[in-house]
């Protein structure tokens, strides 16, 4: 999966693409940015409700390539500018973090992850 594929997921709206050709290998769902910084894998997409520029800073440090902001949260202009400056894609969706995570897991071919 590549970053631009997120734009094709049902209910996802693109606000900033960054480099849409970059590969996404994994995903991480979380709102505690210190946890994200320590545990989110590089080359991933972060699913969160944290809609502020600090989320972009953490994504940049962690090597996260895209952010999906859930629950119809709006993107502040300083967050959008920071994402453009860092080359990190931002998408929004009205769905919950759980539903967004399921859609991304399916797109990554990981929907059966955790089953024996």
Domains of the chain, residue spans: 3-108
Q: Name the fold adopted by 3-108.
A: 3.40.1390
DSSP H or E run through 13: strand 12-16
The dihedral built from the CA positions of residue 63, 31, 105 and 114, taken in this order, carries a sign that is: positive
pLDDT in tens, 44-100: 999 999 999 999 999 999 999 999 999 999 999 999 999 999 999 999 999 999 999
Q: Is the confidence at residue 8, as pLDDT, over 60?
A: yes
Predicted pLDDT at 110:
87
User: Which residues face 16 on adjacent strands?
Assistant: 90
What does residue 12 show for φ and ψ, rounded to 5 degrees? -95, 135
Predicted pLDDT at 38:
96
pLDDT in tens, 25-43: 999 999 999 999 999 999 9
Distance CA 63, CA 23 (A): 12
Residue scoring higher pLDDT (110 or 78): 78
Whether the full predicted model's pTM is greater than 0.85, yes or no, is yes
């Amino acid at each position: 999966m590549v970053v631009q594929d997120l734009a094709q997921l049902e209910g996802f709206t693109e606000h900033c693409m960054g480099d849409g050709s970059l590969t996404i290998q994994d995903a991480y769902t979380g709102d505690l940015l210190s946890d994200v910084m320590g545990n989110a894998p590089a080359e991933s997409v972060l699913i969160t409700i944290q809609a502020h520029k600090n989320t972009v800073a953490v994504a940049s440090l962690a090597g996260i390539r895209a952010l999906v902001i859930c629950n119809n949260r709006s993107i502040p202009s300083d967050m959008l500018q920071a994402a453009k400056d860092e080359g990190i894609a931002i998408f929004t969706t009205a769905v919950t973090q759980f539903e967004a995570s399921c859609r991304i897991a399916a797109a990554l071919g990981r929907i059966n992850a955790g089953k024996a």
